[in-house]
């Protein structure tokens, strides 16, 4: 499910305003590179997760003049101010996705091909509420990752992995 360009522009402008405010509050410089990293992340396809190295290479391929260190530092800053969500999946580098386009979801990671699938199950939200109530906590968020072996017949991701191995 992708967003229309006007909606995406509106979300990106909101993200830029949040970043402006954060940089002002922290007495940090408003650099073009920080805003470029923000834009690249917010224009990712909605269900894509990206690592910093891949983001850096994409930006270099688009002829941005930006250093690897600047991309890493910018990502950290965007996580700190709540504009980017960081995920740590088993056997993977940290992966990131935009926070303002983020509807809470959980993840399934294939042990074989490492493909990440997002899903939303209302019963998990019910469990979160029950656990919070029984433990006397108003749980604000959670992270749930299932790891499993692909059982999809003729899975294209498994074929790609075999080609790489073979």
Q: Are residues 89 and 133 in the same domain?
A: no
Domain that holds residue 135: 103-166
Name the domain boundary from 101, 130, 158: 101
In the structure, what pLDDT confidence band is assigned to residue 74 with cuts at 50, 70 and 90? very high
Is residue 50 helix, strand or coil? Answer: strand
Tokens standing for residue 33: 């590179």
pLDDT of amino acid 49: 85
**Residues near 60 by beta carbon (within 8 Å), at least 6 away in sequence:** 66
Q: Are strands 145-148 and 106-110 parallel, antiparallel or unpaired?
A: parallel
Whether 166 has a pLDDT exceeding 50, the answer reads no
Residue 57: give its domain's CATH number. 1.10.10.10
103, two tokens: 């509807």
Question: Is residue 39 domain-shared with residue 95, that is, in the same domain?
Answer: yes
Residue 155 assigned ligand-binding role = yes
| Segment (H or E) for 127 | helix 122-135
Predicted pLDDT at 65: 92
pTM of the predicted protein model: 0.70
- Please indicate, yes or no, whether residues 82 and 139 belong to a single structural domain of this protein: no
The residue whose two tokens read 């006007």 is 6
Q: Does the annotation place 39 within a ligand binding site?
A: no
164 has a pLDDT exceeding 50: no
81 is in an annotated binding site: no
27 is in an annotated binding site: no
Asked whether residue 43 falls in the same domain as residue 22, the answer is: yes
Domain count for the chain: 2
């Amino acid at each position: 499910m992708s967003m229309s360009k006007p909606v995406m522009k509106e979300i990106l402008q909101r993200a830029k305003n949040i970043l402006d405010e954060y940089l002002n509050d922290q007495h940090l410089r408003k650099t073009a590179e920080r805003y470029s990293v923000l834009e690249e992340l917010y224009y990712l396809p909605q269900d894509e997760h990206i690592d910093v190295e891949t983001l850096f290479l994409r930006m270099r391929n688009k002829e941005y003049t930006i250093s690897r260190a600047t991309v890493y530092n910018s990502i950290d800053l965007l996580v700190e101010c709540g504009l980017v969500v960081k995920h740590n999946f088993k056997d993977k580098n940290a992966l990131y996705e935009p926070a303002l386009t983020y509807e809470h979801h959980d993840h399934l990671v294939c042990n074989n091909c490492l493909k990440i699938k997002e899903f939303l199950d209302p019963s998990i939200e019910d469990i979160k509420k029950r656990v919070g109530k029984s433990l006397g906590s108003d749980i604000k968020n959670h992270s749930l990752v299932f790891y499993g072996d692909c059982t999809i017949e003729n899975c294209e991701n498994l074929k790609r992995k075999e080609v790489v191995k073979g």
